[in-house]
A and B are shown apart, each in its own frame.
Chain A
Amino acid sequence: MNGDGRERLDIRIDDADRQGLTGTAPAALDRPLRDVEQVTIAPDWRPMDEQPAWRTDFPIDWPQDQYVERRDFMKFMVLTSLAFTAGQLWIAAENWWRRQRGGAGLVRLAALDDLTVGATRTFAYPSEQDPCVLVRTGEQSFVAYSQKCTHLSCAVLPRVAEGIIRCPCHEGLFDLASGRPVAGPPRRPLSRVLLEFRAGQIYAAGVEERTA
């Protein structure tokens, strides 16, 4: 190697230090073929003649290798950072779209007399893709929740006698009176459907989503 860090041009095909097998000259003779600091150093830093034969046969420039892998990992991390930012922007767009849609308005669910105490009725609110369940828990008390479990959106099923709503997928349990999680993987309460009573009829008047 010359003092300026460039490979010395060697026209001898059988030279021991020659790179490659064919003996043809590299295409870019004017450019340094490798980093001037690039040397083969074993991971334990001992000389190469003390290394096992396989390491002598397949030498690796470990400092260079570590530098390149950290540099490439950093590029991957910045790409991950971009993905997280895109996720944040997607949530912001979804939130904007949700606010633009507004409420679903008043929807009649049933007459008061249609449900006996302990009876349930399923319905879709605010859209056809949002299954909900209405439960009559007492003479004068009704509750209605989204049927999507807050864990992984499985359909939850009320067990009125036990006072719970159960998700059969992962044994998540919610309190029937409040919709709050009491057992299993769910952490957020079920979305509550706001009810209104007019002239003996039950109406869905909105959805209350809750974090705790």
Chain B
Amino acid sequence: MTARRPFTRAQRATIVNGMLAFVIMLVVLQLWLLTATMNAYLGGDGSVIVPAGVASVVCLLLNAGLLRYLYHIERTRQ
């Protein structure tokens, strides 16, 4: 069994930059989903609400997973 070497600070910075870019993309997508859904709801169209809600929850789970990974690499730092 080989011991896993913790990430250096430079590696962690690169990782957090990449994750941040991904998270921002997902949050912008969620913002678009929310405004489009609100517009549809106010216009009486309820057909998009559930699919948009599911997509938003998936985005949240992805974001939460990335944050969990960030906490994980924080715990395993030197």
User: Which of A's residues lie within 8 Å of B, judged by CB?
Assistant: 5, 32, 35-38, 63-64, 66-67, 70-71, 73-75, 77-78, 80-82, 84-85, 87-89, 91-92, 94-95, 98-99, 150, 187-188, 191, 208-212
**25 pairs across A/B with beta carbons < 8 Å?**
A35-B77, A63-B9, A70-B16, A70-B17, A74-B20, A74-B23, A74-B67, A77-B23, A77-B24, A81-B60, A81-B64, A84-B33, A85-B53, A87-B34, A91-B34, A91-B41, A91-B49, A92-B53, A94-B41, A98-B46, A188-B39, A210-B43, A211-B40, A211-B44, A212-B43
The DSSP consensus for interface residues of chain B is helix
State whether A209 and B13 are in contact (beta carbons under 8 Å apart), knowing that A82-B60, A91-B37 are contacts in the complex: no
Question: Beyond the given A88-B57, A150-B42, could you list 5 further A-B residue pairs with CB under 8 A, ordered by the A residue number?
Answer: A71-B16, A74-B66, A78-B67, A91-B49, A95-B46
> A36, A71, A191: which has the most chain B beta carbons within 10 Å?
A71
